[in-house]
Structure 1
């Protein structure tokens, strides 16, 4: 069994996911984890497919022939999944470079950023642009407190909450 990680981007239009999922189904693939988003008129995503080795080449060819979409396919080497030790919710006034600051602190504190979902939102009362993110991080238990403290030290307005 092959595990393929597939990324794509193209102009947003109705039926895109139906097109991709139909090709996966026709090739007897099993659509697994995915994340897809509309971004500034484009539709971009990443998903994983488990598929018999004999069907891999045809699936790849059909996906890459979808008109208007750039598709990249990588064969994954399966290994034991690394468990996310903590999930953090981060909120701050939005500013340039905030993702780099956060990812740098996580890296330097020995953490591994497994998943990051971020957004910009207007604050309820002031209308000020806010940065909000949810991050899954694998980190040794002994380093959790120092990681959170280092994140909170990025800026006075950065709030860090542990969630599940």
Structure 2
């Protein structure tokens, strides 16, 4: 049996969905798989992170295909299997009025509680009415792990205290039901 390896491809530049499909095909043809991927397009630019598992003997071939993709800049980093059981990962969604410094406050609370932030995705939404933009909303989804002695309900209460009208939803509790 061939030894498996994990690495992360960090890609950016100009690329079409067809280019990304071709990179996935090369990975698959070399007995590899994309464990997880986050790919975002903004105008004609792409930025992405892809965690790839493949036989050690195929790493060079797959990475070479990424490096040869026209318009992309690629960097690679060794990775390892998740250290946490799926039950230990909390997925939270935070919705509130948009305001300056909210991400910094969220990060500070999580850091103070020794949470390990696995990912944060944020969006700012502009809701328009008949007179134009009426309100700016901020929404964020994040995945965290916590020390065993920390209660997720305490974290949620702290996050909800950031500002009036903020709502924090434990998606992991909803998904487990």
Q: Same fold (TM over 0.5)?
A: yes
Unmatched 5+ stretches in structure 1: none
CA distance, structure 2, for counterparts of residue 157 and residue 80 of structure 1: 35
SS of the equivalent of 2:83 reads coil
CA distance, structure 2, for counterparts of residue 128 and residue 28 of structure 1: 49
Counterpart contact for 2:8–2:79, Cα < 8 Å = yes
CA distance, structure 2, for counterparts of residue 11 and residue 61 of structure 1: 18
What's 2:142 paired with? 135
The two structures have a TM-score, normalised by structure 2, of 0.80
The two structures have a TM-score, normalised by structure 1, of 0.86
Larger deviation: 17-26 or 127-136? 17-26
What's 2:123 paired with? 119
Any residues of structure 2 matched to 1:138-157 within 5 Å, and which?
A: 138-139=145-146, 140=148, 142-157=150-165
Unmatched 5+ stretches in structure 2: 173-177
Q: RMSD of aligned C-alpha atoms?
A: 2.2
Of 92, 108, 128 in structure 2, the residue corresponding to residue 104 of structure 1 is: 108
Of 10, 14, 17 in structure 1, the residue corresponding to residue 20 of structure 2 is: 17
Counterpart contact for 1:82–1:138, Cα < 8 Å = no
Of 48, 72, 77 in structure 1, the residue corresponding to residue 80 of structure 2 is: 77
Q: Across the two proteins, how many residue pairs are aligned to each other?
A: 164
The alpha-carbon deviation at position 128 of structure 1 amounts to 1.1
